[in-house]
Structure 1
């Protein structure tokens, strides 16, 4: 998608990690480290291996988000989840609809390829996701770790899901994520 807005060329692209060149991945990583004070190498790794939405303005990367496949356990089922990672827009370009454009692209991927979408939202981003139809998970959060299933109570109240009509969800029940290094959610 390309838009001309007051002489500004804004372009949103969607591509798999494998199809992005080193320069683009390096720019995306640098952008996220600039956007998030607490960004870690594990966080960057979590954003790889799936589909990336990228916003370029006049040829410069100003926004990034990705969706990667994970498995979530809910109601006795292992659900194929499109987990959203690394959503960030350069500070001087916020409030112009770029975050919405990123999410439009990723939500299309989630709806077309997964049983549900999920993400961990900061306090400042929660209203943005809720307005887009993401629902707060009210149940308890868990992780399937190498040592067994463990509670991740710090995530309670921060997890949001994008339900599909095909898979019924009980937003008050337990939700368990698969294991990964760093923050499991």
Structure 2
């Protein structure tokens, strides 16, 4: 039997955080940098347990996205992964259901950057591909992030969005989107 639990990073013990990092390292086949892991911290985690074993993780953190002359509070999804032995059982859907509850209750919109293979999971849940141009607010000013255009998806919540507009994310080290 599997169970999804949610908790803020501050409420997770070191053993749980270590288990989540180990899981994501396995899920992403060693391609999860320290910066990627850092991006997943500081918000609400959805943790999928099978008994005492962590088999799934996802988190939502707050970011600021600039859109239409406004700074919007975005629930940004990070670190979504299910152990390879537990895939194709609806576990990612359960993790996203928990995070979307948080996004709808606390943010102006949801946002994430998806790989091509993960994209169908999100679009089936109502996440919309951003069709406009993307940018990042860098220490040197606003910079175009053309390589990210096709991967950004949003979940409209409180603000009507023109998906063909321009979207600017706040700065962070590593992958900005």
Measured against the shorter chain, the TM-score band is over 0.9
Matching of residues 66-145 of structure 1 within 5 Å: 66-145=59-138
Which residue number corresponds to residue 155 of structure 1? Answer: 148
TM-score of the pair, normalised by structure 1 = 0.94
For 1:73-132, what per-residue CA distance to the aligned partner results, in whole angstroms no more than 9, with x for missing partners? 000000000000000000010001110000000000000000000000000011110000
Q: Secondary structure at the match of 2:120?
A: helix
Q: 1:27 aligns with which of 19, 31, 44?
A: 19
Structure 1: gaps spanning 5 or more residues: 1-8
Deviation at 1:50, TM superposition (A): 0.2
TM-score of the pair, normalised by structure 2 = 0.98
Matching of residues 3-18 of structure 1 within 5 Å: 9-18=1-10
- Separation in 2 of the partners of 1:145 and 1:114? 23
- Number of aligned positions between the proteins: 176
Deviation at 1:58, TM superposition (A): 1.9
Q: Secondary structure at the match of 1:157?
A: helix
For 1:41-89, what per-residue CA distance to the aligned partner results, in whole angstroms no more than 9, with x for missing partners? 0000000000000000122000000000000000000000000000000
Deviation at 1:12, TM superposition (A): 0.5
Structure 2: gaps spanning 5 or more residues: none
Q: Secondary structure at the match of 2:150?
A: coil
- Separation in 2 of the partners of 1:34 and 1:61? 12
